[in-house]
Copies of this chain bind each other. A is one copy, B any other.
Amino acid sequence: MSIPSELTDLKLTRRGAALFITLDRPQAKNALTAEMVSGLSELADALIAETEVRVVVLRGAGATFCAGGDVKDFAKQMMAPDPAPGERDPVRDANRAFGTLLQKLDAIPQVFVSVVEGAAFGGAMGFLSVSDVVIAAEGARYSLSEATLGIPPAQIGPFVVRKIGLFNARRLALTGARFENDTALSVGLIDERVSAADIELALKNWLNDVGRCDPAAVAATKALMNRAAATIDDAQLDAAADDFVRCLRGQGRAGAMAFAARQAPPWVEDFSDD
């Protein structure tokens, strides 16, 4: 499965080993339609098998990140009749689909970087909660205010809890919080805040850090750390030892040979000139 070349309201740009995804519905603050969720899901499926791409960068068009779910989709759900007893509920399926997307994005073997400008509301919080690195521009605004709309942060809830901790999540969600970079940084939702003018430089620095890492080791590390988030048991450490051997006998060996020959390891990528 290769990276799709065209997806509705998503712009894809490839620069070397980096894939840039732009949520591209600026007229609606990049609010997510069912079609966009489906496109991102297709993209995540392709990324899981993709070894040329080493880092994925998610941004929003028009200097805003994402305003969450699309209001029209949402209104349609609100007004849909309740399903007949025993009938499958399409509202439930649509909600669950976003959680499936987050599970997939969380599992891509690439380093996943999000760049936040402007609004990061609703589902956008889910994207941040599966990002390895989040850079935020001054003025970014966040919201975990679903309860003020009469609904829970349902599919994003478990991911937000894992990202910022149970009690930061409970406090913010149960008080319908809208917040800014200060809070986002202190709870660990974002990793770096920069002025809008410095976004590109900050991003390039992170990408070059990624560029020094072997992609196979990155993929193994991300997967073993995700497994570890639940608990540490024998099965997990056994699997980690398998990861170690696979990497060491793979690129690790090539890297050691390069090191001995005073050459750069084969996986090094410099994103500076892209």
Q: Which residues of A contact B (CB under 8 A)?
A: 74-75, 77-79, 82, 89, 91-93, 95-96, 99-100, 103, 111, 132-133, 146-155, 157-163, 165-171, 173-177, 188, 191, 206, 209-210, 212-214, 216-218, 220-222, 224-232, 236-238, 240-245, 247-256, 265, 267
Contacts and interface: CB of A to CB of B under 8 A. Distances in A.
Nearest to A167: B163
Contacts of A237: 96, 99-100, 103, 155, 158
Given A153-B221, A238-B96, A175 B244 contact: no
Contact of A209 (B77, B176, B224): B176
Contacts of A155: 237, 240-241, 244
The quantity of this chain's copies bound in the complex is 3
Contacts of A244: 91-92, 95, 151-152, 154-155
14 contacts: A92-B245, A96-B237, A96-B241, A100-B237, A111-B174, A132-B167, A148-B212, A148-B265, A149-B256, A153-B221, A157-B228, A163-B166, A166-B229, A174-B213
B82 A249 contact: yes
A242 B163 contact: no
Contacts of A230: 230-231
Given A150-B214, A150-B252, A162-B232, 8 more contacts: A149-B255, A150-B254, A161-B229, A173-B225, A175-B206, A175-B210, A176-B209, A176-B213
Nearest to A173: B221
A258 B257 CA distance: 66
Closest 5 CB pairs of A and B: A154-B244, A158-B228, A150-B252, A150-B255, A147-B213
Contacts of A229: 161, 166, 231
Given A132-B167, A161-B229, A176-B209, A152 B245 contact: no
Contacts of A111: 174-175
A26 to B, nearest CB: 24
A217 B152 contact: yes
A231 B233 CA distance: 13
B168 A188 contact: yes
A151 to B, nearest CB: 5
B243 A154 contact: yes
A212 B176 contact: yes
Nearest to A144: B221
Contacts of A165: 165, 188
Given A92-B244, A232-B159, A147 B252 contact: no
